[in-house]
Amino acid sequence: MKNEKRKTHPISYISLILFFSFFLLPVLWILYASFKTGSSITNGKLFSLGGFTLENYRTIVQRGDFLLYSLNSLIIAISVTILSLFTGIIGGYALSRYAIKAKNTWISIMFIAQMFPGVLLIIPLYDLMLNYHLVNTIIGIVIAQSTLTIPFAMWLLKGYFDGIPRSLDEAAMLDGAGVLKTLWSIILPVSIPGVAIASFYSFVVSWGNYLMVSVLVQSNSTATLPIALYRLSSSLTLQWGNIAAATIFIVLPTVILFAIFQRWLVSGLLGGAVKQ
Amino acid sequence: MKKKFLVFSVLILTLSLVSLATINLTFWSMPFSTGEVGMNYVKWFQENVKKSLPNINVSTYYGPGQYDAMLKAFVVQATTGQPAVIEGLTEQMDTYVKMGLIADLDQYFNSWSEKDQFLPNAIAACEVNGKLYGIPYNINVRGLLYRKDIFAKYNLKVPTTWSELVTTAASITELTGGKVYGFDFCSSVNEPRAFQEFMSWFDQVNNREQMFVNVDGKWKLNATVEEFQKIFQLYYDLTFDNAPYTPFNQNNRGGTWEQEDLGYIAGKYAMVPMGPWIWGHINDNALAKTILEDDSAVTSLPIPQGGVKAAYLEVKPIMMNKYTKDPSAAWDLIKFITSEKAMAGWDSAEGTLPPRKDAMNDPVFNNWWAKSWEALMPEGVGLAPINWNPPEYAILTAMDTVIYGVSTPQEAATWLYNKLNELASSGVLGS
Amino acid sequence: MRTYKGYIMLLVAFGITALLIFVPLIIGINLSFTNRNLLYPTTQYVGLNNYINLFHDPEFWIAFLHSGILVSVVVALEYVLGILLALTLKQNIPGIHFFRGIVMVTWVIPIVATVIMWQFMSQPGYGFINMILTSIGLKNYATYFFGSMTFAFPMIMILHLWRNVPFFGIAFLAAMQAIPEELYEAASIDGASKWERFKYITLPGIKYTGLIMITIHVIWTFNQFSIVYIATGGGPINATDVLPTYLYRQVWSNYNIGYGASIGVIMLLILLAFFFIFNRTYGRETT
């Protein structure tokens, strides 16, 4: 009986190969293309050993201002993450711990807020930004993108805090700690997976966001990578090599972050459920 | 908290006062953004605009890089004052005027010493309701670009009628065994080029008259179902005749300008409805150079039986944002962009023609390419000043149903006729 | 005293949220009752006119149908494939930790990049997919899939699956790993078959996770604009048009803001209805 369970059925190997091919080959393919010259990509051969080059990366960095866009994307993404975490932690904690009137309404509204389509939200959002002179500013973009991340962060963190026993809070309070201190010193250290995932989610959403930025960006000082990539893919000098390199550029940071954060991925997302 | 806020506001105030000394203007231009005009020209532009206009700091960000995206972004943010100057298509100019986003340039233009250099029909194309809303920097008329080497090789006659176009193109596809297709056209629903190509055929069928005419302040459709049916029949024949050696490669349905232009210089098609800008690809690679320099020739687009010579006239304007905080600085920038040297440089780099007499006489345009396209100018027909977005979408949707075999030319023509009438009476085209 | 601090915290958080999300939301709902059009300077209230026009609008119903099909098929497939992936990843194959770690990368890649990757692979002539098809003798099927009437919609579905199945997979894997091994052992001692063990132990164990995943992904997929827009723009003709792209077109091609807003409100109502029904059926298990 025990031996039967340890043996891995050959179908698992096949399944693994199929899944792996489907999910990872596109990424590997574009990585491969980013190191090849334009003509060696379009020559129609599946694999050719010739034509490897770093030229694509050089081009987009020099000609495409990609370093500037990366910097903008980074600043914006970090700011969005901080804002979302701040709001999410405070709001999530309060929702989790306090018996507030109409609490369920708030929770439902928080949930509903994720449902309203972004395409439509831009217009009133933009009108508001216009009145407060926030168009084409980093702050404006941060605010706009946070509308996408705050509801999820708050919802996620509330769920995670729910899974932490109140006895911890009470013990801290009995020792004389205030609410904020309790949150900071006791609860947060235990909530690393939840916080990690909330920040990871916020960062990724901000990093890849195109819609909001397309409306709010007016100059190089605020342009981000998704805009640059979209522009490049419609450029007259349509070089797949450059596009591939730009794609890797935009993908790499998220992959690296993912590698760092993935150990918290599961526990962060499911919090209480997994523990039970 | 209050102290920090105070310091912060003082800082902002100081910074804004400092920036008041130089005027910051943003200029959106598709060819600058995508590099279509070549980085050499953009560099020249940046250096010389600094020299000519030292008080103005022109941003090096030239906008989203696609006309579609530029329009959407401009509509949303024009009231912020930036971009102060924007390049675009006349269709877009019409839309911007309807929305009250761009400035009327009559006063500026009339007091400009160089105004007589501009070609009258180019200026006329930039007028809406008798007022000038843009300064033209680029003018071109469409024609048939074809591979004279292929025609010579198979001893074919260059088509002058629609039916000749279909049969000749089919022959070429067959003779090359499908390696080279006889003809290519754009058909993506969001593609301005597809619309412009359609309009060339339409102008031929409609006797060079506008699709919409203004009668007592209302726009009315000036076309018939038969006309649309005739054009859709052309598209149908190009797509389905002589299968499997069809004139047009069915895999290219839904194609964009990239597919057409880049495909031509890669040798994939023998004929395309084109304009002079494709010359800008001459340095892409050796094949492109050979095809454009040695193997290509230009002639008028073929016409239908009972039709007249006509082709889409494209004039691209440089426009001023109505909400810019520095209109005179913006005007100075526009004057620079459309000055003789700047315009000659831009157009020769892109392979298009300048709508200025002095620029046109620049030796850089004294070559067979420019002369061939210049010769087609009289055929050009421009667009009526309406919001073309909805009709464009309707036309291309109808065309797509034909080339995808979803409707017959007649069904599509009837649908389109009704839809355009609907749009005209709904008032969405403007007033 | 300490409770008040809590209230203030809450107020701050909700204040931010209210400003950023609810104000635009309310403005949006308000717009749906007007005839606001960017081409015209004046706006009037027109009551339910937009909604009545929507009802008679064939393009709306096509987009509605496509959205419905897309969401149901995609989420259902994600659920099933997610379970299969989780089962695969659960095995003790050498190097499995690497795969577990890397498979969710598809979710973090920006959508612009994802679409471009797949468009690149679908290019006729030098696209990876078409080259493979040609080499195994299916040359007739080698085409630009996003431009084909038959294949564009399935391709859009594949894009969604590619992006989200690993998310399901990892979530299910975690849930499965939380199921105590003893339960399985006890069941096999009792003579339960592999399928019975799966049906009566695994499935209930991942139920909670599954419900959360479904909820999230129904919302995401239904509201997902970028994938369809960047890949096909809703075409060819209407073949891949979904509600978000239809809304976008109404706003940005016809400048019909009021009408577009009403589509947005309908979308919101649909999701609310789904949430309501879903909560009713499975509510107890998700709180």
Q: Is residue C117 part of a domain?
A: yes
What rounded mean pLDDT belongs to chain C?
85
Is the confidence at residue A9, as pLDDT, over 80?
Answer: no
Q: Which residue of B has its CA nearest to A222?
A: B61
Fold of A57-273: MetI-like fold (1.10.3720)
CA distance A86 to C64: 37
Give A210-254 as a 3 state SS string.
Answer: CHHHHHHCCCCCCCCHHHHHHHHHCCCCCCHHHHHHHHHHHHHHH
Residues 62-81 (C) with a CB less than 8 A from some CB of A: none
Mean pLDDT of A87-115: 75
- Structural element, H or E, at residue A83: helix A66-97
Q: Which of C25, C67, C266 to mutate to test the interface with A (most CBs of A within 10 A)?
A: C25
Give chain C as a 3 state SS string.
Answer: CHHHHHHHHHHHHHHHHHHHHHHHHHHHHHHCCECCECCCCCCCECCCHHHHHHHCCHHHHHHHHHHHHHHHHHHHHHHHHHHHHHHHHHCCCCCHHHHHHHCCHHHHCCHHHHHHHHHHHCCCCCCHHHHHHHHCCCHHHCCCHHHCCCCHHHHHHHHHHHHHHHHHHHHHHHHHHCCCHHHHHHHHHCCCCHHHHHHHHHHHHCHHHHHHHHHHHHHHHHHCCHHHHHHCCCCCCCCCCCHHHHHHHHHHCCCEHHHHHHHHHHHHHHHHHHHHHHHHHHHHHHC
Structural domain count of chain C: 1
In chain C, what is the straight-line distance between the N-terminal and C-terminal CA atoms, in Å?
Answer: 30
Q: Is residue C102 part of a domain?
A: yes
pLDDT tens profile C12-47: 777 777 777 778 888 888 989 998 887 777 788 998
What rounded mean pLDDT belongs to chain A?
79
Q: Is residue C30 part of a domain?
A: no
Q: Which of A218, A238, A240 to mutate to test the interface with B (most CBs of B within 10 A)?
A: A218
Q: Is residue C40 part of a domain?
A: no
Q: Do C17 and A87 touch (CB under 8 A)?
A: yes
Per-residue pLDDT at A269: 62
Residues 47-86 (B) with a CB less than 8 A from some CB of A: 59-61, 64-66, 69, 72-73, 76-77, 79-80, 82-83
Question: What's the CATH number where C269 sits?
Answer: 1.10.3720.10
Mean pLDDT of C134-158: 81
Structural domain span for residue C190:
49-286
| Stated length of chain C | 287
Q: Do A221 and B261 touch (CB under 8 A)?
A: no
pLDDT tens profile B244-263: 999 999 888 888 887 898 88
Task: Give the rounded percent of residues in chain A with a pLDDT score beyond 70.
Answer: 84
Lowest-confidence region among A77-86, B228-237, B342-351, C93-102? C93-102
Is the confidence at residue A16, as pLDDT, over 70?
Answer: yes
Cβ(C248)–Cβ(B389) below 8 Å? no
Indicate the residue of B253, B389, B390 with minimum beta-carbon distance to C236. Answer: B253
Q: Do C236 and B189 touch (CB under 8 A)?
A: yes
Per-residue pLDDT at B233: 97
More confident call, B5 vs B430: B430
What rounded mean pLDDT belongs to chain B?
90
